[in-house]
Amino acid sequence: MRSEGTFGGRFGGYYVSELLVPCLEELEAAWLEARDDPAFRAELGALLRDYAGRPTPLYRSGALSAELGCAVYLKREDLLHGGAHKTNNTIGQALLAKRMGKRRVIAETGAGQHGVATAMAGALLGLEVKVFMGAVDVARQRPNVQRMGLFGAEVVAIEQGSASLKDAINEALRYWTEQVRDTFYVFGTAAGPHPYPSLVRDLQRVIGEEIGQQLAPGKPTAVIACVGGGSNAIGAFAHFVDDPDVQLIGAEPGGDGVATGRHGATLSAGRPGCLHGSISYVLQDAHGQITETHSVSAGLDYPGVGPEHSHLKETGRAEYLPVDDAEALDAFRWLARREGILPALESAHAVALARRLKGRFGPDDVVVINLSGRGDKDLDHVAKLEEAGR
């Protein structure tokens, strides 16, 4: 490897089976080369614009501005083709796979959004796609399973462990270890072994860059995003990391409340450890066994988090706060009623956190919420919760 891929020398790395190191090396080299190749950038830029619909709007929400008493903008990643920010990443990685001569790509998925976005990119670019998804998630995210099927991807339901995202990643890593020679792993978030945290951040940083352009000559007081593995958040934050005037705030899944132990608030309640190839905050027991997480939103239901977020937390550059299920569901309904926008349950965590931080901002402040995805995929799930009285 050209770099150990650490953030602040402490988080990150590539803690994987020896067998995977050569292909991570190959991936790192291919990405560094592609990133600097004007032809690759032009091709990616054109697809993001003409196929996926970038730039996405930055919409000033009247309802949220009135509620918080400052200017509140929604970065509309929900309007991106595919319905979430995930498309920024999958088109980039699928193009890279093609450039590297790989015909088959694999992906893990939780909510199904990354699986859908990978299946979409595979259909677009003529790649064979296999998606690993926990059986529990297959059941709670049906529409996305159907979409992946229509795009021609094969969905493999994983029964191991808690049958959710972390188990899907384990299985994708195993499959990759078996098929390293001809398979490209399209990793879905800014976590995992180096070079993925950097690669995914580079592909998602377009979110923050556009926010910067759309607000120019002004700039945000705060950028708020939900954090599962951390890709939409790092994408929204990266452009502003070097500007200390911009507060960076992450909303973590608080589930039933951090005190209950039934949550996925890795940065708020975990401690440093090694999971899925990197050193980062991890939810684990006293001995280092990874604990099962809980969140109303499948896309945030993950006991790990990207290493760069661990670094931003430890240096105090960003803060991360838990938002529990009830608060997120409330924000989901509130935004639908007040703005006619149905956010993904993941993104609803960011909306809820902004509403909670109301007193922090004054009339001259500008708050940007990254609306990472749309909520159509969650309708069944929310209806079931409603029947159950939540």
- Tell me the catalytic residues: 86, 108, 372
CA-based nearest residue to 304, from 19, 12, 105, 4: 12
Collect all residues with Cβ–Cβ distance below 8 Å to 228 and sequence separation of at least 6. 110, 189, 253, 264, 297, 299, 300, 301, 302, 305, 346
CB atoms within 10 A of CB 99: 17
Q: Give which of ligand PLP, another protein, none residue 227 binds (C-beta under 5 to 8 Å, depending on kind).
A: ligand PLP
DSSP 8-class letter at 291:
P
Residue 5 or residue 229: which is nearer to ligand PLP going by CB?
A: 229
DSSP states along 140-152: HTHHHHHHHHHTT
Dist CA 198 CA 48 (whole Å): 19
**Residue 93 interacting with ligand PLP (CB under 6 A):** no
**227, 238, 321, 328: which one binds ligand PLP (CB under 6 A):** 227
> Among residue numbers 260 through 319, which ones bind ligand PLP (CB under 6 A)?
299-300
* Residue span binding ligand PLP (CB under 6 A) among the ranges 63-71, 107-115, 139-147, 352-360: 107-115
Dist CA 288 CA 285 (whole Å): 5
**Residue 346 interacting with ligand PLP (CB under 6 A):** yes
Dist CA 390 CA 384 (whole Å): 9
> Among residue numbers 261 through 300, which ones bind another protein (CB under 8 A)?
272-277, 279, 282, 284, 286-290
> Among residue numbers 123 through 162, which ones bind another protein (CB under 8 A)?
160-161
> Among residue numbers 157 through 186, which ones bind another protein (CB under 8 A)?
160-161, 166-167, 169-170, 173-174, 177-178, 180
DSSP 8-class letter at 373:
B
Side chain identity, residue 168: A
Least distance in angstroms from the C-beta of 161 to another protein: 7
Interacting residues toward another protein by CB under 8 A: 1, 4, 13-19, 21-22, 160-161, 166-167, 169-170, 173-174, 177-178, 180, 272-277, 279, 282, 284, 286-290
Interacting residues toward ligand PLP by CB under 6 A: 84, 110-111, 113-114, 189, 226-233, 299-300, 344, 346-347, 372-373
